[in-house]
Amino acid sequence: MSHPQHWSPQRFVLSPLHSLYTYDCVATSSSTNIIKFADDTSMVGLISNNKETVYLEEIENLETWCPGNNLLLNVSKTKELIVDFSTKQERNYQPLIINGTPVERVDSFQYLGWVGYIRQQVNILSSKMGKSIFLGSFRIPYGEIRDAVLEVDEEKLSEALIQNLIKNLPEQKELSSLAELKSEYEELCESEQFGIVMSSVKLLRPRLNGILFKLTFEEQVNNIRPDIMNVTFACEEVKKSEGFCKFLELVLLVGNYMNAGTRNAQTFGFNISFLCKIA
């Protein structure tokens, strides 16, 4: 250019220029050369099925594509963030090098004023707990819920709350994994924070099942009360029936008569289930 000029759209929260598509921004004259400069770039590597090489190949393709499209990366201000869906365990990844310069690896990035924090241990919680929507129904701090469970405080523990907890409670293995992240508590999502608080309760699921049984016991008894009364009445009638007693004596007498001369002779009783065989 005979008169070089620098025009650099700086990103600004909620600015239309925050995301700028420049692929079609090409020079219209041979005397003009447009160079696009990428500053403060975040590269998010999504790894699945342990295919780290696929991610690195994409980076190589990007490294080749940029010069051909007049795009320069400020590698010193470029950050790499890895999200590995293949494992929940920490692992060592190959360092990312662009144009001979190593790229700094981070665990957070900013976009439109929103800071995303991603740990190496991804997806600790299963989907049913990870959605955490049910946590919005809680009106008391997580610590108070934990204490209420330990104290079986029925004023705070409703049937609906306990059922919700049982339905969305992580498995014990997941709770144990969460317990190791106490130092990162403030940076975790709500569902993980709740899991950390509740992980201190021993035998949590059996406790919740026991509390639910206690809360619903009266209702369950009322539902089957007619059946209970029928069985109780029938048992009382059988115990008081003189005819049934005479029948049992007759069965025992016939049995001893038929077993005379054998080791089963002169038996003093028999298993009541035997009556079904002679019915």
- In this predicted structure, the answer to whether residue 183 has a pLDDT above a threshold of 60 is yes
157 in Cβ contact with 149 (< 8 Å): yes
Maximum Cα interatomic distance, the chain, rounded to a whole number of Å: 129
Residues composing the chain: 279
pLDDT digits (tens, 9 = 90+) for 46-55: 776 777 788 7
pLDDT of residue 18: 43
- In this predicted structure, the answer to whether residue 113 has a pLDDT above a threshold of 50 is no
pLDDT of residue 11: 46
Q: What is the mean pLDDT of the chain?
A: 75
Of the two residues 108 and 209, the one the predictor is more confident about is 209
pLDDT confidence bin for 209, thresholds 50/70/90:
very high
Q: Which residues of 195-215 are buried (b: 16+ CB within 10 A; e: fewer)?
A: bbbbbebeebeeebeebbeeb
pLDDT of residue 122: 43
pLDDT digits (tens, 9 = 90+) for 247-264: 888 888 888 888 887 877
69 in Cβ contact with 94 (< 8 Å): no
- What number is the average pLDDT over the span 69-95? 74
**Between the ranges 19-23, 217-221, 258-262, where is the mean pLDDT highest?**
217-221
175 in Cβ contact with 198 (< 8 Å): yes
pLDDT confidence bin for 31, thresholds 50/70/90:
confident
pLDDT of residue 89: 59
Of the two residues 67 and 217, the one the predictor is more confident about is 217
Of the two residues 41 and 118, the one the predictor is more confident about is 41
Q: Beta-carbon neighbour count of residue 194 at 10 Å? A: 25
pLDDT confidence bin for 86, thresholds 50/70/90:
low
Q: Report residue 151 as tokens.
A: 């104290």
Nearest residue to 279 (alpha-carbon basis) of 251, 242, 239: 251
pLDDT of residue 120: 39
Of the two residues 226 and 173, the one the predictor is more confident about is 226
- In this predicted structure, the answer to whether residue 121 has a pLDDT above a threshold of 80 is no
Helix (H, G, I), strand (E, B) or coil at 46: strand
pTM (global) more than 0.85: no
- In this predicted structure, the answer to whether residue 232 has a pLDDT above a threshold of 50 is yes
127 in Cβ contact with 195 (< 8 Å): no
pLDDT digits (tens, 9 = 90+) for 88-112: 556 677 788 888 888 888 776 665 4
Nearest residue to 7 (alpha-carbon basis) of 32, 29, 30, 42: 32
pLDDT of residue 137: 57
pLDDT of residue 131: 47
How far is 22 from 70, CA to CA, in rounded Å? 10
Identify the DSSP state of 183.
Answer: G
pLDDT of residue 128: 45
Strand pairing report for 79-84 and 71-73: unpaired
